């Protein structure tokens, strides 16, 4: 069966996780026979707004020396990150190219993701390194709006994906994450644990049984299931976070559970997990 994931996008910025995300993307590309695109974005408008003085509109049309300095600084920093990305791809002999754009980082990532099958970026990001913006606000926007699956990478050196925990509630985002992960699971044959929190419906056992049968139909056999009568963020406690090499989850839902999954569960994983996250929205 042809792999669903072949084109991988890596947004690049000078944070502690960027080298690890470049290596992980290159490793995935090697395993699936795919290609990696390294994306840099200079937030010119954001920098100019950050340093703009309360001058008359006609005077503000002239370049501010401080904004010019910060834009040049951004380009220099991103060039260094681009070179590191190419080096990481070289370690895995992964086909790659780079793309340099200007604009809002979050909007550019979302736009370019339309032509890629997977986005790989760090658990901690710093796209606004040249200004005083929130270091992780781009990641939050991407999680909420990205049309493709998202792989979030921790700072630590990459390791084989041997143990996978899947949070599954039957929602559309969680189902997308499950389907998108199939092509990778078939390649790696990891041990998989599927967790569901059955708080009201009473259908948890049937949902887990169907999910396990679905994975088996795709040749994925090393699967166990666990039904818990606790909120899903409580299920993913320290012991499970430590066990997992990768957590697969849906990021959002258009139902009344949206805030439950986006607000508490996903933020908990981003804040506390020291493992990879595979997310669909």
User: What integer pLDDT is reported at residue 144 of this predicted model?
Assistant: 81
Mean pLDDT over all residues of the chain?
A: 86
Between 197 and 15, whose confidence is greater?
15
CA 105 to chain centre: 14
Which ranges of 134-237 would DSSP assign to H, the alpha helix? Answer: 137-145, 172-188, 204-217, 232-235
User: What integer pLDDT is reported at residue 246 of this predicted model?
Assistant: 96
CATH 3.40.50.620 residue ranges for the chain: 7-153, 163-280
Short-list 98, 80, 60, 76, CA closest to 19: 80
* Measured CA distances, 166 to 4, 134, 232, 247 (Å): 19, 29, 11, 6
CA distance 267 to 9: 23
Contact (CB, 8 A) for 226 and 256: no
Class assignment of domain 163-280?
alpha beta
**Least confidently predicted of 155-159, 195-199, 238-242, 270-274:** 195-199
| pLDDT beyond 80 at 149 | yes
Contact (CB, 8 A) for 195 and 243: no
User: What integer pLDDT is reported at residue 201 of this predicted model?
Assistant: 60
| pLDDT beyond 60 at 235 | yes
| pLDDT beyond 80 at 49 | no
As given in the structure block, the two tokens for residue 212 are 């396990």
Give the E-state strand segments of the chain in sequence order. Answer: 7-11, 35-42, 96-102, 118-122, 150-153, 163-167, 191-197, 223-228, 246-250, 276-280
As given in the structure block, the two tokens for residue 174 are 């969680």
| pLDDT beyond 70 at 187 | yes
User: What integer pLDDT is reported at residue 92 of this predicted model?
Assistant: 97
Band of the pLDDT at 55, cuts 50, 70, 90? Answer: low
Short-list 116, 146, 141, 184, CA closest to 280: 146
CATH number, domain 7-153, options 3.40.50.1700, 3.40.190.10, 3.40.50.1370, 3.40.50.620: 3.40.50.620
Which tens digits make up the pLDDT trace of 245-261? 999 998 764 443 344 33
User: What integer pLDDT is reported at residue 96 of this predicted model?
Assistant: 98
Q: What are phi and psi of 162, to 5 degrees?
A: -115, -25
Which tens digits make up the pLDDT trace of 194-216? 998 765 666 788 889 999 999 99
For the chain, percent helix, then strand, then coil, each to nearest 5?
A: 45, 20, 35
Percent of the chain at pLDDT exceeding 90 = 56
User: What integer pLDDT is reported at residue 145 of this predicted model?
Assistant: 86
| pLDDT beyond 90 at 150 | yes
| pLDDT beyond 70 at 103 | yes
Band of the pLDDT at 50, cuts 50, 70, 90? Answer: confident
User: What burial letters (b/e) apply to 48-63, b meaning 16+ CB within 10 Å?
Assistant: bebeeeeeeeeeeeee
- The pTM score is 0.89
């Amino acid at each position: 069966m042809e792999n669903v994931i072949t084109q991988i996008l890596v947004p690049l910025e000078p944070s502690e996780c960027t080298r690890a995300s470049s290596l992980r993307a290159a490793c995935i590309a090697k395993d699936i026979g795919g290609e990696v695109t390294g994306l840099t974005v200079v937030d010119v408008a954001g920098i100019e707004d950050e340093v703009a003085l309360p001058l008359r509109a006609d005077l503000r049309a002239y370049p501010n020396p401080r904004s010019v300095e910060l834009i040049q600084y951004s380009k220099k920093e991103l060039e260094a990150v681009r070179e590191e990305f190419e080096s990481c791809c070289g370690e895995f002999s992964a086909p790659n190219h780079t793309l340099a754009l200007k604009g809002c980082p979050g909007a550019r990532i979302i736009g370019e993701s339309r032509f890629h099958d997977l986005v790989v970026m760090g658990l901690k990001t710093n796209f606004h390194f040249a200004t005083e913006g929130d270091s992780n606000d781009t990641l939050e926007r991407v999680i909420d709006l990205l049309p493709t699956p998202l792989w979030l990478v921790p700072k630590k050196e990459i390791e084989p994906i041997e143990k996978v925990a899947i949070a599954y509630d039957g929602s559309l985002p969680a189902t997308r994450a499950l389907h998108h992960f199939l092509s990778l699971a078939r390649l790696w044959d990891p041990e998989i644990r599927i967790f569901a929190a059955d708080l009201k419906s009473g259908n948890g056992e049937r949902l887990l049984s169907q999910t396990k049968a679905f994975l088996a139909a795709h040749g994925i056999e090393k699967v166990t299931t666990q039904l818990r009568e606790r909120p899903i963020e409580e299920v993913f406690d320290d012991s499970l976070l430590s066990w997992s090499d990768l957590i697969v989850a849906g990021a959002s839902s258009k139902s009344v559970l949206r805030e439950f999954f986006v607000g508490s569960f996903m933020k908990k994983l981003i804040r506390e997990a020291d493992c990879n996250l595979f997310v669909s929205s």
